[in-house]
Chain A
């Protein structure tokens, strides 16, 4: 099946498909065969690989970017430097309109008119995230993601201590939410999703000061800590799905190299969307090199934890040019 279609199907909630025997490339078959039949002990190799691992390489970079962008909004307003005005829903970078795609969609559906400024602003943002990887927005910009991934550490700790257990939902529910929120905006004429979106709420709280709305965000975080891991980002947020669509054809993605993989599964443990990493399971990858699907937020956590460099960021086409 076409890899883009498959990527969208999985993003919408479908289970990742196991490749048919015929789909395996010769190269992949050779690697799988070699891995299966080699009885050598890999421990020494694994330990050596871990020695050379860069700790939290992408995490540091990502948090720096995320916090800088959000603080730039705050600083621009508080010190009136006018670099980045507005909030994440809509802003102006040195005068250029930037408008969040999902917010723009909600507004257009509720308002039932296409506004020229809105069109220009979404155009810039569309191109930006098309180039940078769609859901890159989630992990590199969204302030709620930052709160949620720290809450997630607490959740994982509590699960390890067997204090609580994680409750998964069907991933398809996010696609249903996307349609429902769009329908609600159209039918009621209000931007319903915006009123509960923690992305908008946290972004505005950082810029214009905290309010009661942060209580809702706190409830969401508590739900994620004690009941369901990363529930909002995984199962609800339509912003993620909107940007996911933008990222389908994006050149920036995480790439998997079968030959380097020790199949330890560390990457899937830290991943927000582990269904995109099914290919790292032993025997699953149909080719020696695979691009991770569009639901991936390009957060780089898997790259950070992989001790053997099987995962890395790649920009398609760049290698050809260079």
Chain B
């Protein structure tokens, strides 16, 4: 294109015409290039490379991605910094908040789901609008009771739906099922995750490593769960032997605290994002 020479005839007029034509063609190439580049962002979304756990109260994924304005105000209000923003490898999900429960779970130590309050666009909401209902299996059977404020006049969290569900993904890793206890820091001395312990401080979350445990039988997932009746330790008979195993109940919100505290390198219990309750 740039090698074209003006034709003989009227050189000045030709050159001007040629420059205008080049400019026009160049602009079309620019348009196609920018549109092409901006379409690439669809690939990670369409192929769902990472199924992200969204903050509490998030709309269903397509609605969430379209309504999030990518400002990070939810990130700023979280007292345990559980919420992070995605990078450009997530395509259209760039700048959209997510929670990596294993690194830092949402333990509801803000008491009021402040991320929802901070959201300016209604991508995170207390009540899903009627025209944008979530799947029925995401709906909670009853308002979730936050153990930390169980004795207050209003003990519930203002949430109607779960964001995921805890699942005992690797039962063979579970210390309780092996009859083992647990002593020490739940995730070792280098783990930076934080949690609120009511007996330590009502409002200030502390690093998990500053709160060592000494347990006859490991029940970390059960004792750290912030929601009433979401998980319990049950006796079951497997292969003729009675063992203890954690059992997740319908009250589970998918907050991910159990996944964060689970001591093995690969957690026995994990939260599956966007998974609903099924019997």
Interface mask (A89-105 → B, CB under 8 Å = 1, otherwise 0): 11110000101100110
Bound CA–CA A180/B118 (angstroms): 31
Cβ of B94 within 8 Å of any chain A Cβ, yes or no, is yes
Beta-carbon contact of B72 and A118 below 8 Å: no
Cβ of B187 within 8 Å of any chain A Cβ, yes or no, is no
Q: Distance in Å from the Cβ of B92 to the closest Cβ of chain A? A: 4
Given contacts A208-B75, A213-B88, contact A190 B42 (CB under 8 A): yes
Cβ of B95 within 8 Å of any chain A Cβ, yes or no, is yes
Cβ of B27 within 8 Å of any chain A Cβ, yes or no, is yes
In the complex, which residue of chain B has the Cβ closest to the Cβ of A236?
B34
Q: Distance in Å from the Cβ of B259 to the closest Cβ of chain A? A: 23
Given contacts A77-B76, A167-B26, A216-B88, contact A86 B120 (CB under 8 A): yes
Beta-carbon contact of A193 and B120 below 8 Å: no
**Chain A residues with CB below 8 A from B38, complex form:** 181, 184, 192-193, 195-196
> Among residues 55 to 97 in chain B, which have CB atoms less than 8 Å away from a CB atom of chain A?
62-63, 65-73, 75-77, 85, 87-89, 91-95
Interface footprint category on A: 35 or more
Binds B, one of A107-115, A255-263, A291-299: A107-115
Majority SS at the chain A contact face:
helix
Q: Distance in Å from the Cβ of A87 to the closest Cβ of chain B? A: 5
> Among residues 26 to 66 in chain B, which have CB atoms less than 8 Å away from a CB atom of chain A?
26-27, 30-31, 34-35, 37-39, 41-42, 45, 62-63, 65-66
**Chain B residues with CB below 8 A from A213, complex form:** 87-88, 94-95
Interface mask (A156-189 → B, CB under 8 Å = 1, otherwise 0): 0000000000011110110011001100100011
Q: Distance in Å from the Cβ of A201 to the closest Cβ of chain B? A: 7
Given contacts A90-B121, A176-B31, contact A192 B41 (CB under 8 A): yes
Beta-carbon contact of B73 and A194 below 8 Å: no
In the complex, which residue of chain A has the Cβ closest to the Cβ of B26?
A169
Beta-carbon contact of A89 and B69 below 8 Å: yes
Cβ of B122 within 8 Å of any chain A Cβ, yes or no, is yes
Given contacts A87-B70, A169-B30, A208-B72, contact A115 B122 (CB under 8 A): yes
Among B24, B77, B85, B89, the residue within 8 A (CB) of A170 is: B24
Beta-carbon contact of A90 and B63 below 8 Å: no
**Chain B residues with CB below 8 A from A235, complex form:** 27, 30
Bound CA–CA A196/B23 (angstroms): 24
Beta-carbon contact of A169 and B23 below 8 Å: yes
Cβ of A155 within 8 Å of any chain B Cβ, yes or no, is no
Bound CA–CA A244/B71 (angstroms): 23
Bound CA–CA A196/B95 (angstroms): 11
Can you give 15 A-B contacts (C-beta < 8 A)? A88-B71, A89-B69, A92-B73, A103-B69, A103-B70, A110-B67, A117-B121, A118-B121, A189-B65, A191-B66, A201-B88, A201-B94, A208-B85, A213-B87, A231-B30
Contacts A196-B37, A204-B95, A211-B88 aside, 20 further interface pairs with beta carbons under 8 A come to A85-B73, A86-B120, A99-B120, A110-B66, A111-B121, A115-B67, A167-B26, A170-B27, A180-B35, A184-B35, A190-B45, A194-B92, A195-B88, A195-B94, A201-B95, A204-B85, A208-B72, A208-B75, A208-B85, A212-B88
Closest 10 CB pairs of A and B: A90-B71, A110-B66, A213-B88, A211-B87, A86-B71, A190-B92, A170-B27, A111-B67, A195-B41, A86-B73
